[in-house]
Amino acid sequence: MSGLVLPPAGQRIYVNDVVMRDGLQNEPVFVPTEDKVALADALSLSGLHKIEVTSFTSAKAIPALRDAEAVMHQIRRVPGVTYAALVLNTRGAERALECQVDEINLVVSASETHNLANTRMTRQQSRRSLREIVKMVEGKMAVNLSVATAFGCPMEGRVAADDVLAIADEFVALGVAGISLCDTTGMANPVQIQQLCAGLPQRWPNTELTLHIHNTRGLGLANVLAGLSAGITHFDASLAGLGGCPFAPGASGNICTEDLVHMLQSMGYETGVDLARLLTCASHIPRLVGHDVPGQVLKAGPWDHRHPVPADFEETRARALARDNPSSTA
């Protein structure tokens, strides 16, 4: 890994939140539709670049998101925010079109085993199906292609970079608006991230390139730094650190949105996000899902938060100073 050269302070970094899809799909409880809508509306006012609101997939496979249409129809859309949804087949794309989604997110795994587990199709079958969707929605909505298990598969192990790039190249040539490289199970390390991503902004100059990172093994924010050093400026994250993949063993939560924003802003980058609003949104998540959440800034507060000094501070200081100047005491 070459030296970590980060972009200069002041550069704009774009943050996308996926808690409503990637986060809630992994929860055993069903969050009521009205709570989902309220969460989406609150996130919309926080300055996020993009919100992945839901998925138009089988209600049997993902029961937590069975109210996709109701949520999309009820949210209040804020100009400048992209509202996205996951789609796996043409029927899902039709549903997304009916709901006037801004962007659909298509998924194919770089790993054959994971793709079969996730979609019940081979990679070739998935790519053929997704090509049909791209053609079907052309001119009607934006398309993002997510390449899952781009940095490793829990069943197969390492995934060849050539396999990842071949999939992405194919869909860039088809004119998709964005490519997301996904560390689906948190297997990546900073060296991998930098090696795979180096040169990609130049390879696909007219394509929005996003890193979708999980914090399964605690390397999430370190991997963001490696992505920044490779020229990546768009990152997915999940409010409060919720998330995971139901079809990938050991896949725990995504990197935490508010922790990511806090780190970027502390380093002097411009995110456009109101961290205080974001933390307020995150504070409601434990109640919605019924358990504690991984987010750290929500627990500790931002780095510049100041606590009151101890009540006996002045007395303690006076005694400490007196030890250096005994003659001043009675």
pLDDT in tens, 292-325: 999 999 999 999 888 898 899 999 999 999 998 8
pLDDT of residue 250: 57
Grouping H, G, I as helix, E, B as strand and the rest as coil, residue 112 is helix
Q: Which residue has the higher pLDDT, 120 or 97?
A: 97
Grouping H, G, I as helix, E, B as strand and the rest as coil, residue 253 is coil
Residue 303 lies in a domain: yes
Residue 274 lies in a domain: yes
How large a percentage of the chain has pLDDT more than 70?
Answer: 95
Q: Tell me if 43 sits within 8 A of 239, measured CB to CB.
A: yes
Q: What is the mean pLDDT of residues 39-45?
A: 98
User: In the structure encoding, which two tokens stand for residue 197, read together?
Assistant: 């991503």
Q: Tell me if 10 sits within 8 A of 42, measured CB to CB.
A: no
Please say if the pLDDT value at position 228 is more than 90: yes
Residue 7 lies in a domain: no
Neighbour tally for 61: CB within 10 Å: 16
Please say if the pLDDT value at position 138 is more than 80: yes
Q: What is the mean pLDDT of residues 8-31?
A: 96
pLDDT of residue 149: 96
Please say if the pLDDT value at position 39 is more than 70: yes
User: In the structure encoding, which two tokens stand for residue 228, read together?
Assistant: 């920044």
Please say if the pLDDT value at position 251 is more than 70: no
Q: Tell me if 84 sits within 8 A of 103, measured CB to CB.
A: yes
Please say if the pLDDT value at position 329 is more than 70: no
Please identify which residue in the block is written with the tokens 């394509």: 207
Q: What's the mean pLDDT when you consider all of the chain? A: 94
Residue 126 lies in a domain: yes
Cα separations in angstroms, 40 against 33, 71, 244, 249, 253: 11, 9, 19, 28, 19
Structure confidence at residue 243 as a pLDDT band (50, 70, 90): confident
Please say if the pLDDT value at position 283 is more than 50: yes
Residue 133 lies in a domain: yes
Q: How confident is the model over 43-82, as pLDDT tens digits?
A: 999 999 999 999 999 999 899 999 999 999 999 999 999 9
CATH number at residue 30: 3.20.20.70
Q: Classify burial at 29, counting beta carbons within 10 Å of its beta carbon; exposed 0-12, middle 13-18, buried 19 or more.
A: exposed
Containing H/E element for 321? Answer: helix 313-324
Q: Tell me if 9 sits within 8 A of 266, measured CB to CB.
A: no
Q: How many domains does the chain have?
A: 1
Q: How confident is the model over 87-115, as pLDDT tens digits?
A: 999 999 999 999 999 999 999 999 999 99
pTM here? 0.93
Residue 213 lies in a domain: yes
pLDDT of residue 330: 46
Residue 170 lies in a domain: yes
pLDDT of residue 172: 98
Q: Which domain holds residue 178?
A: 14-328
pLDDT of residue 4: 82
- Region of poorest pLDDT, from 216-230, 237-251, 315-329: 237-251
Q: Which residues are catalytic?
A: 245
Residue 6 lies in a domain: no
